[in-house]
Amino acid sequence: MVIQVLINVVVMALLATFLYTMQKKYVKFTKRVFAALGMGVVFGAILQMIYGSDSQVVGESIRWFNLIGGGYVNLLQMIVMPLIMVSITSAIINLKSGDSVGKMGGMIISILVGTTAVAALFGVLASLGFGLSAEGLASGAAEAARTAKLQDMAASRQHITSTIISVIPRNPFYAITGQGSNATLSVVLFSAFIGVSALGLRKKRPDSFELFRAMINSAHDVVMRMVTMVLRLTPFGVLALMTKVVAGSNVEDILNLIKFVGASYVALIAVFIMHMILVAMAGLNPMTFVKKTLPVLTFAFSSRSSAGTIPLNVETQRRKLGISEGVANLSASLGATIGQNGCAGIYPAMLAIMIAATPGSGIEINLSFVVSLVVVTAVSSFGVAGVGGGATFAALIVLSSLGLPVGLVGLLISIEPLIDMGRTAVNVSGAMTTGVVTGKLLGQMDTEVYNSDVDLTVEEA
């Protein structure tokens, strides 16, 4: 086994070397990301065919591959909190007044929650259209253990009001460490308070304000340089992550639940089309949006982390879509925890319909039930963790709020990673769409940059 694992690791190293050669030849960032995606899929499929997903060789190989994939994701998560804090504070203190912050934040949250409500409706239609129900789903040892754990979590969950209150950090420094599912929102709120407080000193104590602004802007420059250094590693991270996903997927489990997988991706595609329509309604070319955001969506797809995608999301909005720094940072940060269209919209709604459609459930799927489901889903979308598994928490909140059993979530454990990839990409697409629409409506967008043929160069990414 050792020799086989060593061969696999050497192949991964050669593929990474090829990506580095492309970088040294100044191949465009987008092309390098897609090359990494393709190589990861092919290499993972080869490992799957030769050894099988459950083999020790694949498991041990994935552990070594994770030095690249998991290491890259951790680097991104390392810079998320510093990026959010200095970027939002810097954006606010460089505004003319604090009034713009409230208007900007209100519009972003409204679009995120509104699109999540529509996404939930698409989830309902997909479940009904495919005739999904919970009847006949197999429950093995892993599924049973997961179901028991989820039932305990549902029993101990906080009320929605407590969840909203928890966003206000009692200890902001604890939130900055990334602890808790609402840490990102807490840091956003704390950073906004710092920025607005600093604006209040602009006229009363201009010397203090200018000193503070210079310090924050300097810190911002350092953090953005750090972001640039990490983002250069994106193709390598995508290569390792996609290899891991494909090699470790159980084809038999996927085939058994192929109907649910198909319905999920139909709903996800419908939501992505909705995003394109919103971009078009803002007077922008949706195909330009697709072209420039594909590298970000590709990484979101492979990493399954909305929070981890924040740095790449922000940089793409700023450099490629022409969005102002304030809008880009708020939409990316809030979009990772509020109104996740895929995880907090589609998924809980689909599970609720599946439970209701099961013979003997005693639930009638009528207009009143659907409206209640959509409203609860939209409201419950606040504070969903922007990492892999966030959809599980969203489903727990929605199902328990409607008085529905949560055990179905555990029965889908085998295909969770496959669906979560698409959900995460749609989450990030929703955040970027929100940034584009908000920037356009508030006049905080450079349309020349949006329409120009720019790509993140090696130096910039």
- Counting Cα atoms < 13 Å in the Cβ hemisphere of 398 gives 37
Instruction: Say yes or no to pLDDT of 263 above 80.
Output: yes
Average confidence (pLDDT) over 51-78: 87
pLDDT-based confidence at residue 153 (cuts at 50, 70, 90): very low
User: CA–CA separation, 205 vs 191, rounded Å?
Assistant: 20
Instruction: Say yes or no to pLDDT of 161 above 80.
Output: no
Taking residue 8's Cβ as centre, other Cβ atoms within 10 Å add up to: 24
Average confidence (pLDDT) over 442-455: 85
DSSP 8-state class, residue 346: I
Instruction: Write down the pLDDT at residue 390.
Output: 64
DSSP 8-state class, residue 159: P
Average confidence (pLDDT) over 98-117: 85
Average confidence (pLDDT) over 373-387: 75
Q: Domain 2-451's class?
A: mainly alpha
Instruction: Say yes or no to pLDDT of 148 above 80.
Output: no
Distance in angstroms between the alpha carbons of the first and the last residue of the chain: 38
**Spatial CA neighbour of 340 closest among 218, 429, 418:** 429
Instruction: Write down the pLDDT at residue 380.
Output: 78
Segment 208-214 long-range contacts (CB within 8 Å, at least 24 positions apart):
209/93, 212/93, 213/93, 213/94
Would you state the structure tokens that stand for residue 285, as one six-digit string? 């070319």
**Which stretch of 44-48, 168-172, 240-244 has the lowest confidence by average pLDDT?**
168-172
Average confidence (pLDDT) over 308-315: 88
User: CA–CA separation, 427 vs 121, rounded Å?
Assistant: 16
Q: Of 84-93, 114-123, 179-188, which one has max mean pLDDT?
A: 114-123
Instruction: Write down the pLDDT at residue 141.
Output: 41
Average confidence (pLDDT) over 23-46: 89
DSSP 8-state class, residue 445: B
pLDDT-based confidence at residue 154 (cuts at 50, 70, 90): very low
Q: Of 269-273, 324-328, 379-383, 400-404, which one has max mean pLDDT?
A: 269-273
Write out pLDDT tens, residues 209-244.
889 989 988 998 898 888 888 888 889 998 998 898
**Which stretch of 117-131, 186-200, 412-426, 429-443 has the lowest confidence by average pLDDT?**
412-426
Q: Of 80-84, 225-229, 271-275, 321-325, which one has max mean pLDDT?
A: 271-275
- Tokens 């083999």 identify what position? 55
Task: Output 275 or 187, whichever has higher pLDDT.
Answer: 275
Instruction: Write down the pLDDT at residue 108.
Output: 92
User: CA–CA separation, 298 vs 309, rounded Å?
Assistant: 10
Instruction: Write down the pLDDT at residue 145.
Output: 47
Helices (H), 180-257: 183-199, 201-204, 206-231, 234-248, 251-256
Q: Of 11-15, 66-70, 153-157, 323-327, which one has max mean pLDDT?
A: 11-15
**Which stretch of 84-88, 213-217, 434-438 has the lowest confidence by average pLDDT?**
84-88
Instruction: Say yes or no to pLDDT of 81 above 60.
Output: yes
| Spatial CB neighbours of 40, under 8 Å, sequence gap ≥ 6 | 238, 239, 240, 241, 242, 243, 245, 246, 302
Instruction: Write down the pLDDT at residue 54.
Output: 76
pLDDT-based confidence at residue 170 (cuts at 50, 70, 90): confident
The answer to whether 116 and 341 are in contact (CB under 8 A) is yes
Task: Output 268 or 456, whichever has higher pLDDT.
Answer: 268
User: CA–CA separation, 64 vs 42, rounded Å?
Assistant: 18
User: CA–CA separation, 408 vs 135, rounded Å?
Assistant: 10
Average confidence (pLDDT) over 320-347: 88
Instruction: Say yes or no to pLDDT of 459 above 60.
Output: no
Task: Output 135 or 177, whichever has higher pLDDT.
Answer: 177
Q: What 3 state SS string does 296-344 have?
A: HHHHHHHHCCCCCCHHHHHHHHHHCCCECHHHHHHHHHHHCCECCHHHH
User: CA–CA separation, 293 vs 297, rounded Å?
Assistant: 6
